């Protein structure tokens, strides 16, 4: 019976100090972030899904500067960040328009019948 690759990776992690599971989870997350920011940064469905989820959580966003600079994670993150800023800008515009509409109707109805029917 052959052993899976993950078995040998776990054996190597057991030799190091600290929790091997935590170490594997952190390394796997960094590997995924690296792949996402280097290879999938221009994939439109990936960018839409990331925009819909409002980007990375605090923990993973702080892992981006620790990624190897050879894959230029800052460039990939800046592309995602510009998408998110564009989305936030559209949301603020929509909220502002909705607030203006409410305030116009509110001012008409709260001013009394004199203003509506002179």
- Express each pLDDT in 34-86 by its tens digit: 888 888 888 888 888 888 888 888 888 888 888 888 777 788 888 888 888 88
Q: Which residue has the higher pLDDT, 41 or 107?
A: 41
Instruction: Please list, in sequence order, all residues whose beta carbon lies within 8 angstroms of the beta carbon of residue 33, skipping any fewer than 6 positions away.
Output: 60, 63, 64, 67, 73
HSE, CB side, 13 Å, CA atoms: give it for residue 109: 6
pLDDT score recorded for residue 47: 85
In this model, does residue 104 exceed pLDDT 70?
A: no
Domain ranges of the chain: 5-116
Q: Name the 3-class secondary structure at 52.
A: helix
Mean pLDDT of the residues in the chain: 80
pTM of the model: 0.62
In this model, does residue 89 exceed pLDDT 50?
A: yes
pLDDT score recorded for residue 108: 60
pLDDT score recorded for residue 114: 52
Instruction: Please list, in sequence order, all residues whose beta carbon lies within 8 angstroms of the beta carbon of residue 64, skipping any fewer than 6 positions away.
Output: 33, 37, 56, 73, 74, 77
In this model, does residue 116 exceed pLDDT 60?
A: no
């Amino acid at each position: 019976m052959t052993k899976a690759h993950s078995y040998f990776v776990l054996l190597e992690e057991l030799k190091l100090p600290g929790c091997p599971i935590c170490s594997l989870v952190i390394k796997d997350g960094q590997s995924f972030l690296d792949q996402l920011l280097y290879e999938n940064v221009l994939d439109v469905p990936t960018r839409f899904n990331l925009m819909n989820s409002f980007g990375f959580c605090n923990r993973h966003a702080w892992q981006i500067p620790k990624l190897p600079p050879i894959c230029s994670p800052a460039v990939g993150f800046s592309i995602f960040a510009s998408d998110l800023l564009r989305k936030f800008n559209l949301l603020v515009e929509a909220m502002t328009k909705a607030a203006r509409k409410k305030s116009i109707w509110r001012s008409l109805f709260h001013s009394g019948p004199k203003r509506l029917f002179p």
